[in-house]
A and B are shown apart, each in its own frame.
Chain A
Amino acid sequence: MVVSTTSRPGAGRRPASPGGPPPPGGLRRGIADRVPARLRRLALPYLLILPAVLLELLVHLVPMVIGIGMSFLKLTQFFLRNWSAAPSAGLGNYRVAVDFDGAVGRSLLHSFLVTVAFTVLTVGLSWLLGICGAVLMQGSFRGRAVLRALFLVPYALPVYAGVITWSFLLQRDSGLVNHVLVDQLHLFGERPFWLIGSNSFVSLIVVCVWRSWPFAFLVLMAGLQNISDDLYEAAAIDGAGWGRRLRAVTLPMLRPVNQVLVLVLFLWTFNDFNTPYVLFGKSAPHEADLISIHIYQSSFVTWNFGSGSAMSVLLLLFLLLVTAVYLVATSRRRSDA
């Protein structure tokens, strides 16, 4: 992500210049001339970020370091009361996690692959629905503002409220989905289960797309607003039709927005815990065993926090790698363009 800022270096600590135009608001110049002001201003940015730094340290960075430490310990239920007494496991937890012949490694790999497939499909579909919605919303027509607000509701809804509603829709005997598919359209002879078995993967994607496409829609609409009308008019004068304008103006101009949007959607979806947890409860079906739930379960069901931490660290490494590759690849393409 290329972060360019508009302010000039040192813009914040320029003393009032005596030769400049007269200040608009009077003669209260004495405060700015105090001697220790310079030192104070050097320290000022650090003071301003201090609260944020402290909180990030407490809640994110220190726990992460401790988590990495825990991943090298044999932290089973016998040591929960006294963490420091847990014997070192060396790389043992990692060796078990990536031993794909063993039961732990095999189920971790399975969960990882399920998560990858789930993430690719969810991000792709959310983006697709978002761009369709945003493009079709361009221009002015009756009901536009109301429709736009309604589309945003799933994103505004608390996760658990939206997902609980879906789990009601997906109930086998009393849900809307089977009522429509079986009773009204007669697509299935037998009522299928949607929250257990292989269908649960489809259900999970539908629910996640329902929740995240409005976000893509919102961001893409904001991006579309920033494209100058001149570009469209120039293209129209050159004889470009609607489809051609979409391909030659809209999509290329959205590239910086897409770059950030896809990354954010990817990270949110890959780490998603809330949706499967509310939809399936503590034990997700095998076919929809997302990695966060998998780690949560192997930590709290087996009470093996060392092994759970090792899996989390592997997950973090994977996300770091993907993000780094993605950022390098997209910014290179951007500077080529």
Chain B
Amino acid sequence: MREPRWLPWARWAGLGLLGLFTLTPLYVMLTSAMKPLRDVQGDFQWIPTTITLRPFADMWRTVPLARYFANSLIVASVAALVSVLIAIFAAYAISRFRFPGRRIFSVTVLSTQMFPGILFLLPLFMIYVNLGTALGVELYASRTGLIITYLTFSLPFSIWMLAGYFDSIPTALDEAAQVDGSGPVGALLRVVLPAATPGIVAVAIYAFMTAWGEVLFASVMTDETSRTLAVGLQGYATENDVYWNQIMAASLVVSVPVVAGFLLLQRYLVQGLTAGAVK
């Protein structure tokens, strides 16, 4: 198929502008993280005059970043793991069974996605406080509470995406496994799961990213010991100084795990999205 002669020019102009818009903040994040404090407080410099790695060392002392980091890591990993597990079972039920209540379940779960978080923030806060007292489990201001909250945030999208993914796997595969003597759950574990690995990986990344980046509930449902990065990073702005170089360094460091994971596995995410979005 012939491309018009202007297309390569338009392509580079268009993609160049998009690239400039997308990458400028990332460039600033990277370079400002290596500037001394006086250079980020004065006039902006495109090219740093003094390069230092001090901010990367100082940022751990200005705020207890290591603790926030560990909290975020625990919360996001556990939430992603449990969310994926639960989503696999629910999506399999939706994809392979026709049962009364199936439609209500899928519509209700999906529609929770549109709820404004602010609507259930206050009641959830109250439920966690009361449930915690009643059961003797600390839910409010604890990582457990955050994990439970976050895993439900990614659950609707995960179920929807995985159900779409399972639909694209021929039922003949499950039937072969069942003829072979596996029950439905055996068929899920032995045949469907291996075939759906890309979708499952995509959902796990999505769930991890959701939990890693959430701000609203983290700002209300944590205290100093359970604080995550989302709230912790705001600690660099003190009354006297805003340590912009350390903020940029910390932003860079907390972004690396998610961005690296996302970029390594984005192929699967696109496949998963395609299966989910096009059905």
Given A161-B254, A316-B119, A232 and B1 contact (CB-CB distance below 8 Å) = yes
Chain B contact-residue range equals 35 or more
Assembly CA distance A5 to B216 (angstroms) = 36
Assembly CA distance A246 to B207 (angstroms) = 35
Assembly CA distance A221 to B215 (angstroms) = 29
- The answer to whether A100 has its CB under 8 Å from any CB of chain B is no
Give the residue among B87, B105, B252 with the most A Cβ atoms within 10 A: B105
- The answer to whether A112 has its CB under 8 Å from any CB of chain B is no
Residue of B4, B44, B102 near A179 (CB, 8 A) is B44
- The answer to whether B66 has its CB under 8 Å from any CB of chain A is no
Assess the A174–B18 pair: CB atoms within 8 A: no
Assembly CA distance A223 to B244 (angstroms) = 40
- The answer to whether A315 has its CB under 8 Å from any CB of chain B is yes
- The answer to whether B61 has its CB under 8 Å from any CB of chain A is no
Name the residue on A nearest B231 (C-beta): A160
- The answer to whether A113 has its CB under 8 Å from any CB of chain B is no
Residue of B95, B234, B263, B274 near A222 (CB, 8 A) is B274
Contact with B along A6-46 (1 / 0, CB 8 A): 11111111101000100111101111100001000110111
Contact with A along B118-144 (1 / 0, CB 8 A): 111111101100000000000000000
How many residue pairs bridge A and B at CB < 8 Å? 335
Assembly CA distance A58 to B213 (angstroms) = 22
Chain A contact-residue range equals 35 or more
Assembly CA distance A257 to B277 (angstroms) = 6
- The answer to whether A193 has its CB under 8 Å from any CB of chain B is no
Assess the A219–B277 pair: CB atoms within 8 A: yes
Q: Which residues in window 170-191 of B have CB below 8 A to A?
A: 170-171, 174-176, 178-185
- The answer to whether A127 has its CB under 8 Å from any CB of chain B is no
Which A residues are in CB contact (< 8 Å) with B178? 14, 16, 32
Assess the A56–B171 pair: CB atoms within 8 A: no
Name the residue on A nearest B172 (C-beta): A11
CB distance from B168 to the nearest CB of A (A): 7
Assess the A51–B86 pair: CB atoms within 8 A: yes
Assess the A226–B274 pair: CB atoms within 8 A: yes
- The answer to whether A183 has its CB under 8 Å from any CB of chain B is yes
Given A13-B184, A45-B99, A175-B44, A277 and B215 contact (CB-CB distance below 8 Å) = yes
Assess the B184–A12 pair: CB atoms within 8 A: yes
- The answer to whether B116 has its CB under 8 Å from any CB of chain A is yes
CB distance from A90 to the nearest CB of B (A): 20
Name the residue on B nearest A7 (C-beta): B171
Name the residue on B nearest A292 (C-beta): B118
Which A residues are in CB contact (< 8 Å) with B41? 174
Assess the B11–A136 pair: CB atoms within 8 A: yes
Which A residues are in CB contact (< 8 Å) with B122? 67, 70, 299, 305, 308-309
Which A residues are in CB contact (< 8 Å) with B87? 52
Which A residues are in CB contact (< 8 Å) with B270? 218, 221-222, 225
CB distance from A49 to the nearest CB of B (A): 5
Assess the A24–B258 pair: CB atoms within 8 A: no
- The residues of B with any CB-CB pair to A shorter than 8 Å are 1-4, 7-8, 10-11, 14-15, 18-19, 21-26, 28-29, 32, 40-44, 46, 86-87, 89-90, 92-99, 101-102, 105-106, 108-109, 111-124, 126-127, 148-149, 151-152, 155, 159, 163, 167-168, 170-171, 174-176, 178-185, 209, 212-216, 219, 229-230, 233-234, 244, 247-248, 251-252, 254-255, 258-259, 262-263, 266, 269-271, 273-274, 277-279
- The residues of A with any CB-CB pair to B shorter than 8 Å are 3-14, 16, 20, 23-26, 28-32, 37, 41-42, 44-46, 48-49, 51-53, 55-56, 58-64, 66-67, 70, 83, 129, 132-133, 136-137, 139, 141, 147, 149-162, 164-166, 168-169, 171, 173-176, 178-179, 183, 210, 214, 218-219, 221-223, 225-226, 232-233, 236, 241-242, 256-257, 260-261, 267, 271, 273-274, 277-278, 291-292, 295-296, 299, 305, 308-309, 312-313, 315-316, 319-320, 323
- Supply 8 further A-B pairs (C-beta < 8 A) apart from A5-B95, A46-B101, A299-B122: A24-B180, A25-B180, A59-B152, A60-B120, A132-B14, A154-B26, A165-B29, A292-B116
